[in-house]
Structure 1
């Protein structure tokens, strides 16, 4: 039965391309790549840590299992996996892959909606295109088009993972394609902010956190442990760890300093976990304030929109929010400045000849 054990070469950063990856020149110590053919005659791979002799023993064990499946002495993996168990395993895999809690929670919402749709079977292998279409039809009447696409993208990623794990032979969403959606940014209006702060009078901990989210433009995890601790707080500013481990500093207002002073006995300025923050702000405070279609990230969008609407230069806004380039900022906020474009046109026009006057054309002699 075909199979190999080879030294494992990790992918490392390409010095010629910041976002690129190349294979390292040296193999990793005590790490091997096991390649084998499964019961469907498809090549599979597995990374093994340990001695080479142990990796070779592992290959032999896999080959024995494949042989038993072919001889029908053992059920195939895709024949015995419950949908909910597979999804729990998938969530654990997402955590191990470094996905944020907020991302995993959103996957869980999508999966829960799918389960509640009334599936004909609880086994991964039995999910069909018909189940996906039924879910799409029902979900269209419950959520926005963008939310539906998010649900479908999450389900597609899950079923693709199930295929890689050999829990099914083919994803029921293999032919799903999604249109690119340019959705308008969702920020809180002045009226919504007033209602939100009124509701948060009964939850002062979250009121302080919302204040910091808006005044710093921080992403959800950037103000929570382990990214944000007392070591990030200075006398008149704080240090935020952003995407790709970049750092940005934000100045503190007097009210923000007083909030931090009142919390100095705590283990961290905001010692909460994201799921609890999401429940208290989005699921309770937003709901009680009548705020729809917003999440915690909307507070960051609110910070950016307020700066832009108050006439702050787009380059300064981009630097404040820590965007990778000013193009990202323009994509999100340029539409908030139609009056500015009109004003600039007036400035240009003021130095031009009056087109309403009649000029006599004199050709060159």
Structure 2
């Protein structure tokens, strides 16, 4: 707008326009200035019940945020800049965290900071870059390792032994087992309602599981569930002592979660198809279950048989680790009593015309 245009117009209009612009600038300045500084732990306390459902995942997130707050030395901030995030990731890597673990911790932090930004608690967000993950070898227990480890656990705690058997035969997560109540066990089946994937599932019990969920006779009130007398910390302490006794103390992959891997591996190696393994474990996506697919090595032998069989002489359908659980083999139609199993082919009819 030129000076001449301003001079020709109504002075009151120009004053109103400049006053409005000044008010907007002042409001924006005050909005930034009034943003308070917060600790990561304080933000988590404010929004954890809004962002995360109760369960094992929320427990893990609480641990992640607690570690992040400790690394940041409880620093208060109103803007979480990129250098702070990069230093945080560097510290986690120095502590031995894998890229996969760092990604899980950063996912929790990102979710929390986005909520804080939306609510006006902070006024800037860093760029979260996903760390490249490598597909590592999945460790599972051999039968002999299981026997030795479980014997050492049983010598320390009968309850911890019962829980270990339950975990390896159901493949459930530790938090799912500890949260079970008696109403979750009906008709030789167990239901998991609060799960990491957010979906419930019901699976049948093995004979071993049926035995270990029976509490030994004792005086006093019956506990709320089969494993509620144990806490995660207590079980992990017993586990670590037992694995050190049997010579597995140096193997950092031998943690309670290995029992879930062991269950999945045995199902796949036993010929159970991937879809049913997914349903058994409660995986949200099939890609999570496909980590175990390489264990079905014998399944590839059937491919050679199919390729080497002449067309029209295909082999009978066999179970496959990749088959659909709805796939069934059609049975041959039963023959009538006295009817031959196979009839000889009829000779072609001769022509009635004489040559």
TM-score tier, shorter chain, comes to 0.5 to 0.7
Task: State the TM-score, normalizing by the size of structure 2.
Answer: 0.63
Cα distance in 2 for partners of 1:296, 1:214 equals: 9
User: For 2:113 and 2:279, how far apart are their aligned partners in 1?
Assistant: 39
The answer as to whether partners of 2:80 and 2:122 remain within 8 angstroms in 1 is no
More strand as a share of residues: 1
Q: Any conservation in 2 of the 1:238–1:252 contact (CA below 8 Å)?
A: no
Once the 2 structures are TM-superposed, how far is the Cα of residue 148 of structure 1 from its aligned partner?
1.7
DSSP 3-state at the match of 1:168: coil
Q: CA deviation at 1:259?
A: 2.2
Write out aligned runs for 1:48-63 (5 A).
none
Q: 1:162 to 1:344 in 2, by over 3 A?
A: same
Change (3 A) 1:196 1:90: farther
Tell me how far 1:158 sits from its aligned partner: 2.0
CA distance in 1, matches of 2:280, 2:66: 37
What is aligned with 1:267?
Answer: 224
CA–CA distance in structure 2, aligned partners of residues 71 and 322 of structure 1 = 46
**1:330 CA drift (Å):** 5.4
1:117 is aligned to: 71
- Partner in structure 1 of residue 316 of structure 2: none
- Encode CA deviations 1:2-37: one digit per residue, 9 max, x unaligned: xxxxxxxxxxxxxxxxxxxxxxxxxxxxxxxxxxxx
Counterpart residue number, 1:335: 294
Structure 1 position 189, deviation (Å): 2.0
Residue correspondences, number = 273
1:134 aligns with 2:94: no
Match of 2:265 in 1: 305
CA contact (8 A) 2:174 2:257 kept: yes
Can you give the 5+ residue segments of structure 1 that lack an aligned partner in the other structure?
1-39, 42-65, 354-365
1:314–1:329 CA contact under 8 A, matched in 2:
no
Q: Radius of gyration: which is bigger?
A: 2
CA RMSD in angstroms comes to: 3.7
Residue 346 (1) aligns with residue 298 (2): no
Gaps of 5+ in 2: 1-22, 244-248, 312-355
- State the distance in 1 between where 2:187 and 2:151 align: 30
Q: 1:195, CA displacement in angstroms?
A: 4.9
Kindly indicate whether the alpha-carbon contact (under 8 Å) linking 2:141 and 2:259 is maintained by their aligned counterparts in 1. Answer: no
Q: Distance in 2 between matches of 1:239 and 1:197?
A: 24
Counterpart position of 1:178 = 130
The answer as to whether partners of 1:232 and 1:239 remain within 8 angstroms in 2 is yes
Moved over 6 A (4+): none
